[in-house]
Amino acid sequence: MTRLFGTDGIRGVANEEPLTPDLAFRIGRQLVATLQVDHGVARVRLVIGRDTRLSGPLLESALVAGALSAGADCYAVGVLPTPGIALLTRRLAAHGGIVLSASHNPFEDNGIKLFSSEGTKFPDAWEDEIEQRLDAQDVAPRARREHIGRLIDYTQGGEAYVDFLCETFPLDLSKLSMLLDCAHGATYRVAPRVFRRLGARVATIGARPNGTNINAGVGALHPDGLQRKVKAAGMDVGFAFDGDGDRLISVDHTGEIRDGDFALAIAGRYLAARGRLKGNLVVTTVMANLGLDQALGDAGIRVVKTQVGDRYVFEEMQRVGANLGGEQSGHLLFLDHAPAGDGILSALALLAIATEMGAPLAELAECMRKFPQVLLNVPVRAKPPVESIPGLAEHIAGLEEQMEGCGRVLVRYSGTEPLARVMIEGADGARIRAMAEELAALIRRELGLMAG
C-alpha cells in the first residue's frame, strides 16, 4: 500500500480516496491498537480537534467512532488551533492528540495529524505501525459493554488555551492597536480574545469562517490584504495566521511584511544577547534567506539547516539541544514555551521583545537585510529524484557559476502537493527571476515528458 503519512500527517481531498470517512474510522481503531498493544496503554485517552473546514465534522465523527469502538476515551475540543490541541494533549495527560486540518491548503483538502503524549509530532515509527495495521486484517480491540470508549465534550479547551498564552506572556498591550488576519480558520475566536485580554485594541479580518473560505485570499499565505489595511488604518502591527494557527506572518506599522526569517533573526539576537539562546544556535531550513545567515552570523550565532518541514526542524532542535528554530513560512518553535509551532504564541514572543526593548517591530527588523528571492511552484505529475531530471544539475551549476558565490539555487518537491519548487536568491532581483523561469521551464518540459 502507498504510504499515507507524509511530512505533516495525512493530506488529501476530503471524502475522496484515500481521505475518506472509512479511512478515518480505521485510523481511529488502529491508533488505539498501536497504543494499547504495542505500547502497553491499558485505557487510551485521546484529544481531538479540528479547523473550520466543511469536511471537519465528517472526518472527526468517523475517527472518533473508530477510537471509541476500540475502547478509547475521546476529549472533543471542537475548533481550536493545532498548537492548542497539542497543549491540551499534555495538560489532560492524554496518550495522543488528533487534529483534522490541512493547514494552509484550500478548503476542499483536509488532513489527519497525530500528536504524541508530549504534544509533539507522532514518531515516524509509530506512524509506520499504524500503516502496517491498516494494510492487514483488523485485529484492533473491539470494546464491549462498559469498555466502550466515552466521548467527552471538552468545551473548556479553548479557555484553557487562552489562559496558557496569557500566562506565558503576561504583557501590557494597552498602548497597541493591531489587526489580526485569522484566515477564516481555527484562530478566529481565540486569537482576538488573547490580545484583547492583554489590553490591545484589536480589529480582525478573516474571522468569519463559513466552511469554504478558509485560507481563501487571507491569512499567512496571503498577507498583502493585511499589509494594505495595517498601513491605511495606521495600526501599530498586524499578525496573519494560517488555517490551523501554527504559522505567523507579521506586518509592521510601515506596512512591511516580516516573515519567519525576520522573526528568527530578531528572537535569535535577543536571546543570544541575554545568554538565553541554547547552544548559541538557531535551527532553520534550506529555504531560509541568506540575509538570516548574515544577521545571525554577525551576532556570532550559528545557523543549522534541515530539509523543509517543521518536524525536521523540531527533530534537529532536539538533537542539538536548541530552543529556537523555525521556517521562513512562519512556522516558529519556541521550545522554552511550547512543544509545537504556535502562531499566536510567536506573535506574543515578538511583542515581548518589542516591549522590553522599547522598539517597534519595524526597528527590530532592521537587524536583517533580505536578499532578493524568487520562488516558483511548478505543477508536476511525477516526482522522480531531482538529480535524475535530464539537464537540471548542469543548468543549476551554470547559474551558480554566474552568481559567483553571491546567491544560491534550490530545487525540491513539495511534501504535501504535486509541485516542484524552484527557489533562487541573489543580488539582482530581475536576473534571478529570469533564472528561475529558465529552471521552471526545464522542469515543466522534462517532467511532462516523463509523466506522459
By DSSP bridging, strand 419-426 and strand 407-413 are: antiparallel
- What residues are paired with 303 via a beta bridge? 282
> Per the omega criterion (within 30 degrees of 0), is the bond before 372 cis?
no
Dihedral class, residue 206 (left if φ above 0, else alpha if ψ from -120 to 50, else beta): left
Residue with cell 507524509: 6
- Residue 388 annotated as catalytic: no
Which DSSP helix (H) or strand (E) runs through 194? helix 190-197
* Region of 82 on the Ramachandran plot (φ > 0 left; ψ -120 to 50 alpha; else beta): alpha
Given 55, 69, 103, 250, the catalytic residue: 103
Residue 16 per-residue DSSP state = B
Nearest to 180 by CA among 204, 200, 162, 199: 204
Contacts of 323 (CB under 8 A, 6+ apart): 271, 276, 277, 278, 317, 334, 335, 336
Question: Exposed e or buried b for every residue in 372-384, given b needs 16+ CB within 10 A?
Answer: bbbebebebeeee
Supply the Cα-derived Rg of the chain in whole angstroms. Answer: 22
Which string of DSSP letters, residue by residue, matches 363-428?
A: HHGGG--PPPEEEEEEE-S----GGGSTTHHHHHHHHHHHHTTSEEEEEEE-SSSSEEEEEEEES-
DSSP 8-class letter at 123: P
Exposed e or buried b per residue across 289-313, where buried means at least 16 C-beta atoms within 10 angstroms of its C-beta: bbbbbbbbeebebbbbbbebbbbbb
Q: Report how far residue 352's alpha carbon sits from residue 173's, in angstroms, rounded to the nearest whole number.
A: 10
- The residues pairing with 412 across neighbouring beta strands, listed in sequence order, are 421
Positions annotated as catalytic residues are 103
